[in-house]
A and B are shown apart, each in its own frame.
Chain A
Amino acid sequence: GLHFNDPKFPQQWHLNNRRSPGRDINVTGVWERNVTGRGVTVVVVDDGVEYTIRDIRPNYSPEGSYDLNSNDPDPMPHPDEENGNHHGTRCAGEIAAVPNNSFCAVGVAFGSRIAGIRVLDGPLTDSMEAVAFNKHYQINDIYSCSWGPDDDGKTVDGPHQLGKAALQHGVMAGRHGFGSIFVVASGNGGQHNDNCNYDGYANSIYTITIGAVDEEGRMPFYAEECASMLAVTFSGGDKMLRSIVTTDWDLQKGTGCTEGHTGTSAAAPLAAGMMALMLQVRPCLTWRDVQHIIVFTATRYEDHHANWDTNQAGFGHSHQHGFGLLNAWRLVNAAKIWTSVPYLASYVSPVLREAKVIPLAPGSLEVVWNVSHADLALSGLRTLEHVAVTVTISHPRRGSLDLRLSCPSGMLSLIGAPRSLDSDPGGFDDWTFSTVRCWGEGAQGQYRLSVRDVGDRESRVGILERWQLTLYGSAWRPQEVEERRRLLEDAMSGKYLHDGFSLPCPPGLDVPEEDGYSLTPNTLKTLMLLGCFAVFWTAYYLLEVCLSQRDVALDLTCGGAPCRRARNRHRALEEGMELEATPLYENKDTEETEGPPDLPNQGSRDQEGTLAPALDLQEVREGPVC
């Protein structure tokens, strides 16, 4: 029932697929119920956002924006040699392109506000990442990050100390205590046999890791697999398949619109847009609520290549597709009735020192750790969310290692996939792998880490030096997980998706931001000019007043106050001015009897209804002054 005049909207198959019905994010029904992301701000952390483009300008949030590359509040992208700084603008268009403006396309959450943090166009350090992740975190609700460490199949990297601290701080203090939502793209290293478990942003429990599928629902050639992927959504595929149509920059070779946005970069902003729709209907969802809703609503579909496994809690997961396809209708309906999950509970095992040789495949080194009821009693942890394993392994060729983790249920995760291009001799030094595949399962029992060497026989021996298990979850019992699943399925008809139904939301915390709004040099210059003008104008005015008073001082024949009032009035009349104070002065008695001096309004009216400023009233009561 919705019609948009945006010329490229009919080609936005990811929003409304007419060629292959059902292969889209299922958002139109949500829009029809006026859920468009209103009241939510999404920030694109990237190479800038061209906010002056017609599709962006009306939804642009300067309050949430910043340029960390130039250190000013303006995130406008800078043209570069490769015409490459259009990336952030394209992502922003996917999220919040304005509809019905006869320009290009429509965003998933076209009622939301969109901000930009420019950080990828220059040298980047850990401290800059930390600043970016918390920038304006009481204004920005969702951080969309379509970038990460190199996807070259040999990099192992992620947030460093400060970046990690900022992510943690963001989920605790951001969004008035409900927690910033960090959406990250899983990676484009498919051709290089890369895997997103070697990306620390994807492994982080504080992020939502989003992968891509093409229009046919298959994993594209560029996409990466991993055990920490939460879900997938649409993006481009090979040459025969359509890419994402979205707003583009109009600088250099840009036209303001593109049909060629692809990669996991294109998938993550769609997910961020869907998160904005969720937050409109339920603003008090915490960062963990959002993760849970994704797990509970993502749809598993038939894809034999994806190797779906169903865990003990009944959730299907694939290393290729996470818990499945994001579906805007399901996400929003679930969000509408969602009550918060219990607080985050965790368990950390001791550092388990092994110093054991890793055998060549088909052999493997297996180490286990039992988590007892007593171990979990202190934190109250009962069911799992994320499971993390931190390992230190020495090995002459890191890419030959294969690491698998088995949860107490037997659910297996490939947490460290072999990578043919990774010949790093340094092994792993306290690298944390994570999996979400045991979500909702009981936490108690035996965890088994299996490590093997899939390299050739000439490779030297690897050693598992130490490992440590960390469990994250909540006090929910498995039955409560199941009960919540049933509750959500009941809501999928859309019966709660109207303005008349809303669950109460607790108020958020008042968390002040440190630096508020910093002034650019240009703004400072403008302010200085205005200040100078004000000073000169004041000086001129004072001079004029003083000169006009000289006549009074020299008039020795008239020194009394009544005389001055009469003279002033006389002069004003001579100059053709009708002073508002004049009738008040003459009707002083009337004015005094009309009301107490502390009238609520700032002025009072004379008999003719003329509004007189309070200042004039005061002047009359105290008598004339010169």
Chain B
Amino acid sequence: LPGPGGTEARGPVGLSWAVHLDGAEGEEEEEEGTRQRADALARAAGLVNAGRIGELRGHYLFTRPAGPREDGLEEAARQRAEEVLAGHEAVRWHAEQRLLKRAKR
């Protein structure tokens, strides 16, 4: 996922996580501080902070940086990210992003 706004059309979806951080519901200065913490947390998890998710304060999308795609590496990257995100005290909630199936009606 290249950014919080979306994916390249029909491109493969890499690993990504939605993360809700504590203390980001207030003013813009707080939001800026949270963004910096999000950057640091993403780096620690081996991911890149792709930015805030739409208008949801404190919610960020972390993506796996571009690189070689091997099954073993991907699983290792997933485990590392899960460990870091699950163990960090500032993470209120996190979820790996998976494809949703939606149909036109």
Contacts and interface: CB of A to CB of B under 8 A. Distances in A.
Contacts of B16: 125, 127
Contacts of B11: 122-123
B99 interface: yes
Chain A interface size band reads 35 or more
B55 interface: yes
Nearest to A222: B105
A263 B105 contact: yes
Interface in A146-169: 146-151, 155, 157, 160-162, 165-166, 169
A155 B101 CA distance: 10
Chain B interface size band reads 20 to 34
Interface string A386-402: 00000000000000000
A165 B3 CA distance: 19
Interface in B3-50: 3-13, 16, 18
B6 A264 contact: no
B6 A165 contact: no
Residue from A66, A165, A264, A268 whose CB has the most chain B CB atoms within 10 Å: A165
A127 B97 contact: yes
B99 A124 contact: yes
Given A69-B7, A121-B9, A125-B97, A165 B56 contact: yes
Interface string A39-81: 0000000110000000000000000001111110000001000
A150 B12 CA distance: 21
B2 interface: yes
Given A78-B9, A169-B55, A173-B55, A127 B103 contact: no
B104 interface: yes
A12 to B, nearest CB: 21
Interface of B: 1-13, 16, 18, 52-56, 59, 61, 93, 95, 97-105
16 contacts: A67-B6, A68-B5, A69-B7, A70-B8, A123-B10, A124-B102, A126-B97, A132-B54, A146-B104, A148-B103, A149-B102, A162-B53, A188-B105, A264-B105, A268-B105, A518-B5
Given A124-B102, A188-B105, A514-B52, 13 more contacts: A70-B9, A78-B9, A84-B104, A126-B95, A130-B54, A130-B56, A149-B101, A149-B102, A155-B101, A161-B93, A162-B59, A166-B56, A185-B105
